[in-house]
Amino acid sequence: MRMGTAQQEARLRQIDALQSNLAGYRPYEGDMLVQLRKYYRLGLTWTSNAVEGSSYTESETKILLEDGITVAGKTLRETMAALGHAKAYDYMFTLTGKKGITERDVLTMHAMLEGGMETGTAGKYRTTAVLVTGTAFRFPSAAEVPDLMRTLFERTIPGFVSLHPVLQSAKIHKEIVTIHPFSDGNGRAARLAMNTVLIQHGYMPVQIAPVIRQEYIDSLRRAQIQGDDADFIGLILRQEIESQKEILRLIAE
């Protein structure tokens, strides 16, 4: 069932209420800040790669990132994808002092995913057509990508500033994956961009767990094919609520 305006507004009110509760624990400093960053560094790296098909489990990702120990039976590509995402995550936190994300920021984060990319494609726009199975949507040609990305960051995204920050972040995510600017790593780059905007505004990063992978993909496809992003935005709002609740629970413990 399509998510209606009333449901969206109700979720935004819930997000704002939870945000007020979290405000009582700010500013996050010392050990709390360290633990929060470690928590999301692991969680976002694992979930973002798992959604794209990585076989690394959460515990295996933790061993790799925190102990530097590779896991037997995993491909070099999967291992480097996890390390590359963690590096991009660290870069994301250098952008917290400003509001908004630029085209250069996205290209830089994508370049840091290089370990999991095809050779020579990281941080560069694709030069070939997109072949994605399971969707009737026709992605832009490679020749259109540079202008579309420039327009996105110079015109489209500035038009989102009047929206609630969580809505802004969801729309930015959707726009990036719809342009599909890279030969690989589009989903990971889009989720990094989304979470950059969220943390810049003081919200918790959103994780797309493997258990909701199909719902996530289906809602994106509807947004692309039908031009209606209500279900996708509803999913992102729901996941922001879950992230806020989880951090409140962890703080309470």
Give the count of beta carbons closer than 10 Å to the beta carbon of residue 80.
15
DSSP characters over 36-79: HHHHHHHHHHHHHHHHTT----HHHHHIIIII----TT--HHHH
**Is the distance from CB of 222 to CB of 228 less than 8 angstroms?**
yes
**Is the distance from CB of 178 to CB of 224 less than 8 angstroms?**
yes
CA distances in angstroms from 129 to 52, 104, 157, 181, 182, listed in the order given? 19, 22, 25, 10, 10
Q: Is the dihedral of CA 27, 99, 97, 90 positive or negative?
A: positive
> Residue 180 catalytic?
yes
The catalytic residue among 85, 110, 173, 180 is: 180
Distance, CA of 17 to CA of 24 (rounded, Å):
12
Count CA atoms closer than 13 A to 160's CA, side-chain side.
Answer: 23
Q: Which contiguous run of DSSP H or E holds residue 195?
A: helix 186-200
Percent helix, percent strand, percent coil in the chain, to nearest 5? 70, 0, 30
How large is the angle between the packed helices 230-252 and 213-226, nearest 10 degrees?
150
CA nearest to 230, candidates 156, 167, 163: 167
Q: What residues are labeled active site? A: 180
